[in-house]
Amino acid sequence: MIAVARPDRHSARLFVVAADGMMRDLPRTKLATLFDPGDLVVANDAATLPASLQGTHVPSGKAIEIRLAGWLSLPDPTRFVAIAFGLGDHRTRTEDRLPPPALSTGDRLWLGPLEAVVERLLDHPRLLELCFPGNRAAVLAGMAQHGRPIQYAHVPEPLALWDVWTKIAARPFAFEAPSAGFGLDWRTLQAWRRRAVGFAALTHAAGVSSTGDPALDSRLPFDEPYRISERTAAQVARAKLRGSRIIAIGTSVVRALEAAANPDGSVRAGNGIATGRIERGTPLRVVDAILTGVHQPGESHFELLRAFADDALLAKASAALTACRYRAHEFGDSVLLNC
């Protein structure tokens, strides 16, 4: 990974926004010192799939890029919701990408070693359901051989798959990196352990952050599956009973925990689907604070932050982040909100 694209732990910055409006500009290495004994930090351990697949639309012979964007059946890596683009690659801004060739149900696509079939067109020219004929092992092998991480124009050099895996990445489950997790490293986790700050993980299928089309972007985030282990659910319950804070590492963790929330603030273990948006006015039953990236008003990630703070505080924080030149992409700086 090139140095300018992902700042190291010493150069990355952390902007802390407290519930009372106090704001601090810190090096991200200070994250290890900001929580109290008994607090519980929860992160997303999903590894990122090579979800961008270049190929050919067989009926027209034209170039196509498929970006996998959602699971149709979670245990089955042969069927997905996908977003289609025409000729081009990540070096062109997503908003400027050409539309895909005219698609019809049943169309075949050659995506490197993989064949895909359009199962169903959804209610937008870029949005479809597709399947990969074949068994699970063959499809996963083809994706690993030919697929690349979904990537955007602010990082022109091609990313390798390991560039979009966090330190705690485990099972391939996400379509884009749960990028707030880039703020974690083993030294921070070790420091929390020494200070009796709890740490837990869940697995959430973080989806795409941009489709290039405002109408389609307005639907983000799509429905996203998650898994919460019995151990993580028990850790959340114990933290809630003792009145400790739950700190989510990223918006995907907030979606999963709040989707699984019980009225008392505990969470249900097992598999689930996070649906709908968390936004201004959404009651938060589990999460008290969030570590996230730098987001812009109008983005679905920013809309989620409105559940943590009022618009006046967020506007003040956004102005400070701009003035202080915080980096806003997925490999950029971090914000700790409402802590």
The answer on pLDDT for 171 being more than 50 is yes
Number of Cβ within 10 Å of residue 20's Cβ equals: 7
The whole-number average pLDDT for the span 194-209 is 97
Phi and psi angles of residue 136, each rounded to the nearest 5 degrees, phi first: -55, -45
Identify the pLDDT of residue 5. 47
Tokens 């639907």: give the residue: 219
User: pTM for the full model?
Assistant: 0.94
Q: Average pLDDT of 311-328?
A: 94
> What's the pLDDT score for residue 299?
86
The first and second tokens of residue 72, run together, are 């149709």
User: What mean pLDDT is predicted for residues 126-146?
Assistant: 95
CA 311 → CA 24, 106, 219, distances in Å?
19, 47, 21
Amino acid making up residue 161: L
Domain boundaries, the chain: 13-48+159-338, 52-146
| 43 within 8 A of 184, measured Cβ to Cβ | yes
With cut-offs at 50, 70 and 90, classify the pLDDT of residue 95.
Answer: very high
Say which amino acid occupies 143: M
Task: Give the model's pLDDT for residue 8.
Answer: 55
Given this chain, do its domains 13-48+159-338 and 52-146 carry the same CATH topology? no
Q: Summarize the confidence of residues 146-170 as an average pLDDT.
A: 94
Task: Check residue 84 and give left, alpha or beta (phi > 0: left; psi -120 to 50: alpha).
Answer: beta
User: What's the rounded mean pLDDT across residues 98-103?
Assistant: 96
The answer to whether 307 and 284 are in contact (CB under 8 A) is yes
- The answer on pLDDT for 222 being more than 70 is yes
Residue 101 has pLDDT above 50, yes or no: yes
d(CA 78, CA 75): 9
Give the pLDDT confidence score for residue 297 in this predicted structure. 87
Report, as an integer, the average pLDDT of 21-50. Answer: 96
Query: What is the distance between the alpha carbons of residues 76 and 238, in angstroms, rounded to a whole number?
Result: 34
- On whether the CB atoms of residues 17 and 313 are closer than 8 A, the answer is yes
- The model's confidence at residue 7, banded by pLDDT at 50, 70 and 90, is very low
224-228 and 127-131: which strand pairing?
A: unpaired
- Burial status of residue 254 (CB atoms within 10 A of its CB: 0-12, 13-18, 19 or more): buried
Query: How is residue 123 written in tokens?
Result: 């209610």
Give one word for 326, left, alpha or beta, with left for phi > 0 and alpha for psi -120 to 50: beta
Sorted by sequence, the CB contacts under 8 Å of residue 244 that are 6+ apart come out as 36, 38, 39, 40, 198
Over residues 207-219, the mean pLDDT reads 93
* Residue 125 to residue 97: CA distance in whole angstroms: 13
The predicted model gives 267-292 an average pLDDT of: 96
Q: Is the pLDDT of residue 10 over 70?
A: no
**pLDDT of 154-165, one tens digit each?**
898 999 999 999
Share of the chain above pLDDT 90, in %: 90
Mean pLDDT (the chain, rounded): 94
What pLDDT score does 4 carry? 40
Q: Which CATH architecture has domain 13-48+159-338?
A: 3-Layer(aba) Sandwich (3.40)
Residue 336 vs residues 9, 14, 120, 154: alpha-carbon distances, Å = 16, 7, 41, 23
pLDDT at residue 1 is higher than 60: no
Any idea which residue has 């409402």 for tokens?
A: 338
Query: What fold, for 52-146?
Result: Thrombin, subunit H (2.40.10)
Instruction: Provide the pLDDT confidence category of residue 339 given band limits of 50, 70 and 90.
Output: low
